[in-house]
Amino acid sequence: MAQLQDILTWCEQTLLVNEFKDYAPNGLQIEGKSEVKKVLCAVTASLDAIEAAVEAEADLLLVHHGYFWKGEPAPITGMRGARIKKLIQHDISLLGYHLPLDAHPSLGNNAAIAELLQLKNIQPLNPNDRHPIGNIGFLEQPISAEAFKQELSEVFAREIIHLPAHNSTIQKIGFCTGAAQDFITQAAEQGCDAYISGEVSERTFYEARELGVHYFACGHHATERYGVQRLAQALAKQFDIETIYYEQHNPI
């Protein structure tokens, strides 16, 4: 068992939350029980994830995508109101970490992808970023775009969208999880052969061709499954609490 406040303090210090300017609040978004015995983690605080937390009798729902994004209407009604109502009714806290979890050098989504793809010599995608949310890594040996697409398909267990460039082999790779397709321009500026993110836009097709950078869309959800699991595992070790992961298939 752990105190909710102790978990919050540890996460804030570990993820350096106060050093990020983000699109939503990082940390405690809905306050429930003061004592935590079980944590359920999920990529997004969907109603299904909340119901899984209720069924598991979790005290805390830990997510990458929480609530209260900039530009959203303020009233707590409709779909979001139903989600928040259920959390409050069951006294379950909602804890969300967005960019700090993308960027963390060992717990983060990008760090996990670098390990899964066995990328070496990890560097920031933007050299001026103090805490880069995008990175560059190198394959040990250059490979063809088709071979790399097949590897990505196996790693992420999904169909990969490949927008080809003219260069024939890939070794230097830029990557940023989620909806970061527009960072392909930074990847081109840094001389990357390929760039990986989650989502894709119509304009990205032309950018890949004209910038000379292969683009691979591997799924927003699929590329961001790892940070919450790693953070939950770290919490389990730090506080001796039970943690479980809820996987909800999302094709995007």
pLDDT digits (tens, 9 = 90+) for 71-96: 999 899 999 999 999 999 999 999 99
* 17 and 118 assigned to the same domain: no
* 88 and 127 assigned to the same domain: no
pLDDT at 145: 97
pLDDT at 100: 98
Tally: H helices and E strands in the chain: 10, 13
* 78 and 132 assigned to the same domain: no
* 117 and 203 assigned to the same domain: yes
* 17 and 63 assigned to the same domain: yes
Helix/strand/coil for 182: helix
User: Would you place residue 165 in the very low, low, confident or very high pLDDT band (cuts 50, 70, 90)?
Assistant: very high
- Other CB atoms within a 10 A radius of the CB of residue 228 amount to 28
User: Would you place residue 168 in the very low, low, confident or very high pLDDT band (cuts 50, 70, 90)?
Assistant: confident
User: Would you place residue 112 in the very low, low, confident or very high pLDDT band (cuts 50, 70, 90)?
Assistant: very high
**Which is nearest to 231 in space by CA: 51, 109, 87?**
109
* Assigned domain for 121 exists: yes
Q: What is the pLDDT of residues 16-25, one digit of tens each?
A: 999 999 999 9
Query: What is the C-alpha radius of gyration for the chain, rounded to an integer number of angstroms?
Result: 19
- This prediction has a pTM of 0.96
Using the predicted structure, report yes or no on whether residue 167 has a pLDDT greater than 90: no
Question: Residue 49's domain spans which residues?
Answer: 2-97+224-245
Per the model's pLDDT, the better-predicted residue between 249 and 232 turns out to be: 232
CATH number at residue 55: 3.40.1390.30
- Mean of pLDDT values over 225-245: 97
* Assigned domain for 250 exists: no
pLDDT at 59: 98
How many domains does the chain divide into?
Answer: 2
* Assigned domain for 251 exists: no
